[in-house]
Amino acid sequence: MPDILSTAQSLIEQTVRDHRGNYCYTCSFQVEDVVLLHLLKTVDPEVPVLFLETGYHFPETLAYRDQVASDWKLNLVNITPPAEAPVELYKTDPAACCNWRKVKGLMAGLDNYNAWVTGLRREQSPTRANLQYVEPHKLPSGRQIQKISPLAEWTWKDVQAYATINSLPELSLYADGYTSIGCAPCTQKPLDPGNLRSGRWGGNKLECGIHTATER
């Protein structure tokens, strides 16, 4: 862990130097996101922490978000959909539901910044296997911003080790057997114990669209 931790810390410090006041961090309050949040706030306590308030989160997720935001005095920004999506769209078209409740609001919100920090890791999914630490991303508006992923090389074991060493609070759903947590209707316990994200969308898709909707 020392090498990847040092790399993450250096990238965070560089991001703050280059973009202070003009970058944000998207956080779902899953464990890797809280690990990165812990690293970020030691360098820039005022970093805007964007949370996608879809209207479908587990009550436990929202309570945990609020507790961490209060305890850590976060600059929390709740991003809501641009308009109300059709009721229970997730049942008939999960991709459209994600696009409406996550992608549209976030892409509009990102237009306020020049850099976007994420907790993505290469190990999470085949769609993230080629993730780079810093990548250019073009927003739907046509603006190009930097997308920065300081934990790109971290494994699940690295994430757990950091959380344990630093006594980070944990979302209670992990203790219930969940390993990747999103909106309640589309999240279940892993279908494949070897694939932490296999409980998302019934295993029918890998991404909500946030990280595949923009152009490089």
Catalytic positions, please?
Answer: 208
Q: Tokens 């907790």 — which residue?
A: 119
Q: Tokens 């409406």 — which residue?
A: 100
Distance, in Å, from the CA atom of 127 to the CA atom of 212, rounded to the nearest integer, reads 9
Cβ atoms of 39 and 12 closer than 8 Å: yes
Distance, in Å, from the CA atom of 65 to the CA atom of 71, rounded to the nearest integer, reads 10
